[in-house]
């Protein structure tokens, strides 16, 4: 269903986020939403796989696991129990540039999460007796990925796309690094990155902003802040197609194509996002309509544009029909891309793609939790949560010429990496 653009825009108004920073560097972002009596409380640490180097890959994610293994004040898994008994839900995740701990609680109980996270910021133990079994859990996650042919394909694609920047390293880490990382290494990583200067607290939901600041000061105000400078790795232009074949125990071949694009703050992001919807979003997108249903060349084809803090990629994943040669499907994909480069885009194409882009953007914010994640993500990735309010207008300004221009600039042979996942010979 195509969502009416006017209604969509009317449903969106700039979000209002109250911002405050403590003397120790801790930034507080509060989004008041009194629709329901729930509060999402999140602490976003500015550390992830991008900050890691060979020899310690996976350490940020390993630390996240250890964060549930006890502090000086609370034993292993007590954090989970306390939040559960308060009627809340909680979890954490690690990504390329973030490690996030979050909990959703009734509005009169979110102080509990602030207290527990303040304790976790200062008092983690990372004891060896807890470290060994938890590292085993993480290594088992790694083994599951190694046994997944698709996981192998995605990991190799990153390694071929980035020869230098840490975007080539998996967040889970390499097995040899996981084997060698010790509990003291994790503790030192914790001491470097877990402090108020390297964190953002986002509170979203049925709260009063003055009360939030008062509570954050109560629990975090006396913790010393230690600024962390992030190293920026600038990957050189690709200047030539890269190709690889991967043979695993699969029943059918898979095609993957990666194009280097731009960072999240680059002005071409908006046209690239709209372009990706024209090619692959929903049953009426070009890849689905033409390559899957009309020509019967693929059983499945998807495209994802992922701008990051310093770079970005546009990733195509396709499974050819059983009777089709994988090279033939690849050729047809390039043919559809060439249509865009030549400006074969209708007014209906561009309007629908803008609708879809804005709808996806807005629906992600349709809960205190989603809004909190969105605010923290944009603050860390783009340098300011206020870029959330710029995005919709920039999408509306995208023209057919913009889409053709970015397709011609970024979706080139010299800028792509192509991978074939094939049945083992």
Question: Rounded to the nearest 5°, which phi and psi values hold at 53?
Answer: -130, 165
CA atoms of 220 and 119, how far apart (whole Å): 9
Residue length, the chain?
425
Distance from the Cα of residue 383 to its chain's centroid: 15
| Beta carbons of 45 and 67 less than 8 angstroms apart | no
- Dihedral over Cα of 82, 85, 88, 90: its sign: positive
Q: Of 87, 244, 70, 233, which is closest to residue 152 (Cα–Cα)?
A: 244
| Beta carbons of 204 and 33 less than 8 angstroms apart | yes
Encoded tokens for 172: 């889970």
Distance from the Cα of residue 347 to its chain's centroid: 31
How many helices (DSSP H) and strands (DSSP E) are in the chain?
A: 16, 11
- Is residue 85 annotated as a catalytic residue, yes or no? no
Active-site option among 19, 32, 52, 64: 64
- Dihedral over Cα of 331, 349, 281, 161: its sign: positive
Token pair 């094939």 is found at 422
Could you give the strand order of the β-sheet that contains 99-106, starting from the edge strand earlier in sequence?
A: 18-21, 27-32, 199-205, 38-45, 99-106, 89-94
| Beta carbons of 66 and 230 less than 8 angstroms apart | no
Beta bridge partners of 201: 28, 43
Active site residue ranges:
64
């Amino acid at each position: 269903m195509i969502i009416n653009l006017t209604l969509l825009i009317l449903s969106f108004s700039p979000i209002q986020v109250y911002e405050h920073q403590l003397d120790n560097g801790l930034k507080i972002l509060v989004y008041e939403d009194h629709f329901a009596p729930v509060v999402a409380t999140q602490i976003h640490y500015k550390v992830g796989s991008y900050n890691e180097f060979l020899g310690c890959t996976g350490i940020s994610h390993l630390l996240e696991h250890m964060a549930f293994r006890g502090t000086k004040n609370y034993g292993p898994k007590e954090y989970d129990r306390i939040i559960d008994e308060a009627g809340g839900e909680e979890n954490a995740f690690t990504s390329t540039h973030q490690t996030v701990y979050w909990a959703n609680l009734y509005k009169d109980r979110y102080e509990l999460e602030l207290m527990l996270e303040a304790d976790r910021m200062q008092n983690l133990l990372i004891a060896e007796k807890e470290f060994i079994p938890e590292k085993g859990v993480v290594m088992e996650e790694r083994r599951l990925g190694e046994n997944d042919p698709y996981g192998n394909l995605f990991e190799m694609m990153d390694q071929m796309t980035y020869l230098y920047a840490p975007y080539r390293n998996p967040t889970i880490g390499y097995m040899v690094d996981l084997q060698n990382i010790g509990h003291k290494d994790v503790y030192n990583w914790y001491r470097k990155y877990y402090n108020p200067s390297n964190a953002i607290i986002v509170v979203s939901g049925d709260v009063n902003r003055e009360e939030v600041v008062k509570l954050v000061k109560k629990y975090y105000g006396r913790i010393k802040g230690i600024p962390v400078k992030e190293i920026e790795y600038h990957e050189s232009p690709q200047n030539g197609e890269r190709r690889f074949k991967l043979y695993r125990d699969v029943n059918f071949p898979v095609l993957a194509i990666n194009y280097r694009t731009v960072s999240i703050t680059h002005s071409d992001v908006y046209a690239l996002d709209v372009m990706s919807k024209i090619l692959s979003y929903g049953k009426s997108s070009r890849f689905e309509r033409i390559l899957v249903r009309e020509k019967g060349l693929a059983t499945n084809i998807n495209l994802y544009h992922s701008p990051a803090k310093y770079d970005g990629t546009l990733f195509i994943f396709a499974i050819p029909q059983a009777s089709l040669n994988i090279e033939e499907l690849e050729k047809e994909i390039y043919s559809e891309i060439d249509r865009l480069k030549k400006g074969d885009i209708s007014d209906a194409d561009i309007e629908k793609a803008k609708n879809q882009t804005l709808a996806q953007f807005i629906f992600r914010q349709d809960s205190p939790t989603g809004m909190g994640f969105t605010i923290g993500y944009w603050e860390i990735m783009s340098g300011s949560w206020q870029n959330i309010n710029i995005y919709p207008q920039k999408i509306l300004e995208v023209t057919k010429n913009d889409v053709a221009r970015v397709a011609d600039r970024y979706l080139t042979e010299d800028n792509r990496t192509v991978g074939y996942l094939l049945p083992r010979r």
